[in-house]
Amino acid sequence: MTTKKKGRCSLYSRQLQRFIDEWRHETGADDVDMRLVAAWAINKGLWQPPRKTAVELLARDLSRAAREDYIEDDEGNPVRKRHAYRVKQGDQQLTIWVDIDTAKPGQMRLSVLQRRLGIVGDCIQLQHDVNYYDSHNKHGAKLPQLSLDFGPDVTERNLPTEYPDAPPEDDELDDAG
């Protein structure tokens, strides 16, 4: 039996989750295209767009644009130009953005740490999801062992992607070994 933890998501998120469940029940579908659920909920009058201020809308778009802003390092690798970190100011949580070329070390450490913690949280959640699926899926299937050691993946992604068309000359092979 599936149990839902209370308090892990907002009331609004729980309302949206009900939309998904109701749509699945009404359509009998197991595979969910969220655009279909959204259209269904809007057509039934279950959802209205929130009234956000112009500042909130533009701040969201600015953050998205900042996340997509890349420069290249000396080897031509993409590097995110702008980095965010969260700080609490009174009872508000703020997201502060800094440019990688002018960020102070403490700001970059905080940004990197918070992004790393996000990755760790995603890995933990993924492990919980796989464990649950393996124990509860109606097909009796077991997913392949999930490796959270990303070292080999990072090494592979850092390998060159372009290679010469011709094999090395014999004298180049002699120099290599």
- The tokens of 40 are what? 């269904």
User: Of 53, 55, 83, which Cα lies nearest the Cα of 68?
Assistant: 83
Within 8 A by CB and 6+ apart from 52, the residues are: 60
Domain boundaries, the chain: 9-49, 52-135
Q: Are 86 and 114 in contact (CB under 8 A)?
A: yes
Quote the pLDDT of residue 101: 97
Tokens 């130009």 correspond to what residue?
81
User: Of 61, 174, 9, which Cα lies nearest the Cα of 20?
Assistant: 9
Please report, as a single letter, which amino acid is at residue 158: N
Q: Span 68-95, mean pLDDT? A: 96
Q: Does 103 have pLDDT greater than 90? A: yes
**Three-class secondary structure of residue 139 per DSSP:** coil
Reported pTM: 0.73
Quote the pLDDT of residue 5: 59
Confidence band (pLDDT; 50, 70, 90) for 49?
confident
Q: Are 123 and 148 in contact (CB under 8 A)?
A: yes
Lowest mean pLDDT among 3-12, 78-87, 127-136: 3-12
